[in-house]
Copies of this chain bind each other. A is one copy, B any other.
Amino acid sequence: MGRPTIEEVALRAGVSRGTASRVINGAAHVSADAREKVLRAVDELRYVPSRAARSLVTQRNDTVALAISNVDPRLFSDHPFFSEVILGIDEVLAEADLELTLVLGTSQAARDRLSRRLSSRRVDGVMLLSLHGNDPLYSLVEHADIPIVFGGKPLGIEPDHYVDADNRGGARQAVAHLVRTGRRRIATITGPQDMDAAVARFNGFRDALGEARLEDHRVAYGDFSEASASAAMAELLERFPDLDAVFAAADAMAAAAMRVLAANGRRVPEDVAVVGFDDRPAALHLSPPLTTVHQPIRALGTEMARMLVALVNGRPATSLILPTRLVVRGSA
């Protein structure tokens, strides 16, 4: 009771299977007459080609994977980041008529599955998102012989193809803004130092301070989570009670820091200016609204997809760094 095959279509249209196939794949060299008959047969029979059969012979799957490794569930769910990236990706993929499959690398088993998929030619290309420093996915990737695009440059290596936000430049701008508005004892709460984005933001912090010839030793280490930031802010207050500004490497951390500041009787921005990074929607609703660095998240998705589409189709592509920009609101 299977669906119609191309053979049946050909039969009904009174042409050969070869001709039917040509019509369906929009090839040239078919008479208008034959084309029309085939098209009608396709319509009447509700024929839809079997992708499995097609893939088998073409060696293509018209499918790419988005792999998200080392998912911090909290990060994943509490942040529009992933949804937004996916939306961007989908937009481009739809246009290129490619399908998207999702691989979340939460467990070792999941990683194995990804590994298998990479080599079972189930997908024509892969996008990798948010890898930590020593991510086991790296080794998989090297063995793969299909195009890979990194979302966010991984730490310590320079992949052939990645797209990233200008983390360092954004952080630099943010801290320069602090300096420009008169702050002198500027602290930072960093992200996890095994992620390139976090390291880059930290470097941007030092860049700006160096240019201004200010001290850059007021640092506490966080991991992008609110909990880590609360602890970090408390530590900062303890070690540097005179600080007059803090640059948090993520909005979530800035929010947590602001709560700790408030709990300690420091006013924002009067006593302590606060700048975040990400510009997630919630930043707008903090009080005062958070001054932060805007990242083009959706563009990250579209550009990753665009790059992968190019590679899959055998066209070259070069890595990209997307600009970030400071959004000044009430907190600094």
Contacts and interface: CB of A to CB of B under 8 A. Distances in A.
Given A100-B102, A102-B102, A110 B87 contact: no
A115 to B, nearest CB: 9
Contacts of A56: 50, 52-53, 56
A323 interface: no
Nearest to A285: B255
B97 A100 contact: no
A285 B281 CA distance: 13
B3 A119 contact: yes
Nearest to A90: B104
Interface string A174-214: 00000000000000000000000000000000000000000
A37 interface: no
A73 B282 CA distance: 16
Contacts of A158: none
Which of A51, A77, A110, A255 is the most central at the interface, judged by chain B CB atoms within 10 Å of its CB? A77
A87 B80 contact: no
A79 B76 contact: no
Interface in A65-85: 71, 73, 76-80, 82-84
Contacts of A298: 77
B121 A109 contact: no
A46 B120 CA distance: 10
A121 B76 contact: no
Contacts of A84: 77
A10 to B, nearest CB: 18
B48 A120 contact: yes
Interface residues of A, number: 54
A52 to B, nearest CB: 4
A56 B94 CA distance: 25
A45 to B, nearest CB: 11
Nearest to A297: B77
Nearest to A286: B285
A37 to B, nearest CB: 22
Contact of A52 (B2, B90, B113, B121): B121
A110 B94 contact: yes
A228 interface: no
Given A46-B119, A102-B102, A287-B287, 9 more contacts: A2-B59, A50-B120, A51-B122, A52-B52, A56-B56, A71-B87, A79-B83, A97-B113, A99-B103
30 contacts: A2-B59, A3-B119, A48-B119, A48-B120, A49-B120, A50-B121, A51-B120, A52-B55, A52-B56, A52-B121, A77-B83, A77-B87, A77-B298, A78-B80, A78-B281, A80-B80, A86-B104, A90-B102, A90-B106, A94-B104, A94-B106, A97-B113, A99-B103, A99-B117, A100-B102, A101-B101, A101-B102, A255-B285, A285-B286, A287-B287
